[in-house]
Amino acid sequence: MTDLIVTINAGSSSIKFSVYRIAQGQLTQLALGQIDGIGGKAHFAVKKTGGEKTGYDFDQSQGAVDHRVALAAVLDWLESEGDGANVVGVGHRVVHGGPIYSEPVRLDDAVLAKLKSFEPLAPLHQPFNLAGVEAARAAFPGAPQVACFDTAFHRRHTFIADTYALPRAYYDEGVRRYGFHGLSYEFIHRILRHEEPVLARGKVIVAHLGNGASLCAINAGKSVGSTMGFTALDGLPMGTRCGQLDPGVVLYLMEEKNMSAAQITDLLYKNSGLKGMSGISNDVRELEASDAPSAREALDYFVSRVRRNIGGLSAELGGLDCLVLTGGIGENAVNVRRKILENMEWFGIQIDFDANARNERIISEKGSPTVVLILKTDEERMIAAHTAELLDLKKPLVPPLE
């Protein structure tokens, strides 16, 4: 019987899952999978580590597939593999921990009720994250469930870093800057602490650049500032999200365009950012391949906002020892990285452009006042590590472990 930790990231129409074996103080990823099309024509796909991807379409004759049916299929798959699956813990990605949760927490009815009260803070994510929890409790009734929050890493910010210039009563009721991508930032910091302990004790900015994008300022291991705020709309422009926006624009859309809250939500979350500016795609690869001026302008806007926010967070830190680039764009988009980092010598960033082109781990020149690294993030492994630690399966469990 193999002891397993399952991680779950549940959305409105999909569930991503990972499976880890925990043995002899190590986490080893066994599989990564996804169920797409929940609520409609659903498809199960899984790839075992070192193996080929396999999958199948769900039988729709018994009705639409919901989160419970999807996770029951994950359990069936686990039981069909090898000598049996002993799921000793299930870790969930939960977007919002509100002003309360600064650490992962074991889920029970009282915690779930509190997390449901945060649904107005993240209406596009929180309800579906919690639907995944309910489904996992049914699929794995004997396994403890753990919530790991995207906001938790930022919960020790000062009042100044968290507040908006609104009447204080709004802050007290929860209208504040929460920050997101915390699981990614925490994973990167653990890697730094493990591999670059001197840098980890210094002033670090991590740029999580992907379809969702943000920056985080970390001082001596603690988040002190983030570009995302009350929601995951704020800060940098993203694949389909607008990033920083004058709130007067929202008032204009309401008053002059007669747009409803639902229409504005759809515009700002799904049809803005790189997709909206270019009119072509939210995919950086497609934009780089395009000859359209709008594609170049969208990328240039993205680059300028990243540069501006690196400067702002550096001022908040009082200097910069290390810049880490991660996420799909940060790890792979050579030309975008170059544009972000070129002509930054005045700022203490001296780039080795050949190393950047080769996607090397260190892309700053030797002797650069600021060390620039490319590190691969792994939010699923961070969730698995948190789950193992909270359940006392192994302390401390520092990724990456094989």
Domain boundaries defined on the chain = 2-149, 197-374
The correct answer on CATH 3.20.20.140 for the domain covering 2-149 is no
pLDDT of amino acid 63 = 82
Q: How far apart are CA 227 and CA 17, in angstroms?
A: 28
Between the CA of residue 224 and those of 109, 161, 217, 264, what are the distances in Å? 32, 7, 6, 31
Residues near 15 by beta carbon (within 8 Å), at least 6 away in sequence: 8, 9, 34, 35, 38, 67, 70, 71, 74, 132
Query: In terms of Cα–Cα distance, which of 102, 109, 150 is closest to 126?
Result: 150
Reported as a pLDDT band with limits 50, 70 and 90, residue 237 is very high
Q: Which residues contact 71 (CB under 8 A, 6 or more apart)?
A: 8, 15, 132, 135, 136, 138, 139, 140
Q: Tell me: pLDDT of 338 over 70.
A: yes
Residue 118's pLDDT is: 95
Asked whether the domain spanning 197-374 has the same topology as the one spanning 2-149, the reply is yes
Whether the CB-CB separation of 10 and 131 falls below 8 Å is answered with yes
Find the catalytic residue in 3, 66, 83, 150.
150
CATH 3.30.420.40 fits 197-374, yes or no: yes
Is pLDDT of 11 > 50?
yes
Residue 291, pLDDT > 70, answer yes
What pLDDT is recorded for position 400? 46
Among residues 236, 261, 238, 235, the alpha carbon closest in space to that of 250 is found at: 261
Q: What is the pLDDT of residue 85?
A: 76
pLDDT for the residue numbered 83: 65
Residue 383 CB contacts under 8 Å (≥ 6 apart), including other chains = 7, 18, 91, 92, 93, 146, 148, 183
Assess contact for 213 and 161: CB atoms under 8 A. Answer: no
Active site residue 150: yes
DSSP-assigned letter for residue 244 = S
Comparing CA positions, the residue from 165, 104, 11 lying closest to residue 390 is 104
pLDDT digits (tens, 9 = 90+) for 34-90: 999 999 899 999 999 999 999 999 998 878 899 999 999 999 999 888 666 789 999
φ, ψ (nearest 5 deg) of residue 387:
-65, -45
pLDDT digits (tens, 9 = 90+) for 83-140: 667 899 999 999 999 999 999 999 999 999 999 999 998 888 999 999 999 999 999 9
